[in-house]
Amino acid sequence: MQKRLQDIAALVGGELVGAGDLMITGVSGIKEAKEGDITFLANPKYLPLLDTTKASAVLVGKDISFPAKPVIRVANPSLAFSRVIELIGPEKIAYPSGVHPSAVIGKGVTLGKDVSIQPHVVIEEGAMVGDRTVLCAGCYVGHFSLIGADTLIYPNVVVRERTLIGSRVIIHSGTVIGSDGFGFTMIDGKHVKIPQIGIVVIEDDVEIGANVTVDRARFDRTVIKRGTKIDNLVQIAHNVIIGEHSILVAQSGVAGSTELGKYVTLAAQAGLVGHLKVGDGAIIAAQAGVTKDIEPRGMVVGAPAVDHMKFKRNVANVNRLPKLIDRVAALEKKLEEPRK
């Protein structure tokens, strides 16, 4: 789809600087863009790329000028670019409504209006699927699970029994929701399994990446609250509670019965032991190993994790050690010299 630059500026509510009749034919990143594309600049560290990008126009922040190329100034270039993609980017995949003949639907299953049940989906007895929800090829929905409206579940996702999933949820391929929690006790020298009879609750507007595991509770519920976004390869153990609008980045893990507040950020490969409380707005840095509760809006780094300011001081002190060692050696040498 082609659009004039002035029409794009009107769409995003931006200030156009340059030729409004320029035709835009595609969207791309600032490094990959070619002539005819529009791109965006959100991070100041990429400013030098304005001189080299082949894009025909750029969405930029309100404080940026670039006379060599048409720009549209907006408050949030990244958000504006998302709207442009919806306008002139590739068309969204359309999933036809209806139930594919190869799908297996159990007794007492309730399907909402305009659902799309793709090839080789299995929906077990007593499950419910809400209006306009899409279950892509090879998905499994266990007994008595409930999935809300306008939810998209990509191929080969497993939703185990009695799981509750809200509306407008997105779950990517390979994820398992409701697997047994890792619960065993040692009896007579053997690990004996403890039954995991709780459920998983995923609230509205959650997105879960590929190959994520969310364990069912031993009792009661494992809960991912509304608006939370989870990256690929994340492990969430039994009875964990993830607060609203939190972010969990790739390869992070949360052990059993730990509770995260609202707007928590858990960076890549961070790990939390069980039975902790993490306050609202806390930030846990990449590869941090958290063993203690974190206060609201706290920021921790390292393993074991400590306050980020303390971590910086520790690193600075370690970097001073070579000079300190040389100084101590010089003092020792001086003390060993015979007195005159």
Mean residue pLDDT of the chain comes to 95
pLDDT tens digits for range 186-222: 999 999 999 999 999 999 999 999 999 999 999 999 9
CATH number, domain with residue 295: 2.160.10.10
For residue 330, is it within any domain? no
How large is the average pLDDT for residues 301-311? 91
What pLDDT sits at residue 294?
Answer: 98
Domain residue limits at 67: 3-88
What pLDDT sits at residue 140?
Answer: 98
Structural domain count, the chain: 2
Backbone angles phi, psi at 208, to 5 degrees: -120, 130
How large is the average pLDDT for residues 238-246? 98
Query: Mind telling me the catalytic residues?
Result: 238
Confidence bin at 246 (pLDDT 50/70/90) = very high
How far apart are the C-alpha atoms of 89 and 102, rounded to whole Å? Answer: 33
Which DSSP string do the residues of 299-328 spell out, in sequence order? EEETTTTEEHHHHHHHHHHHHHHHHHHHHH
What pLDDT sits at residue 340?
Answer: 59
How large is the average pLDDT for residues 63-90? 90
| Domain co-membership, 73 together with 177 | no
316 against 135, higher pLDDT: 135
Domain final position from 38, 54, 88: 88
How large is the average pLDDT for residues 130-137? 98
pTM of the complete model: 0.89
pLDDT tens digits for range 273-294: 999 999 999 999 999 999 999 9
| Domain co-membership, 68 together with 119 | no
Peptide bond into 304 cis (omega under 30): yes
Confidence bin at 299 (pLDDT 50/70/90) = very high
What pLDDT sits at residue 175?
Answer: 98
| Domain co-membership, 132 together with 251 | yes
| Residue 238 near residue 182 (C-beta atoms within 8 A) | yes
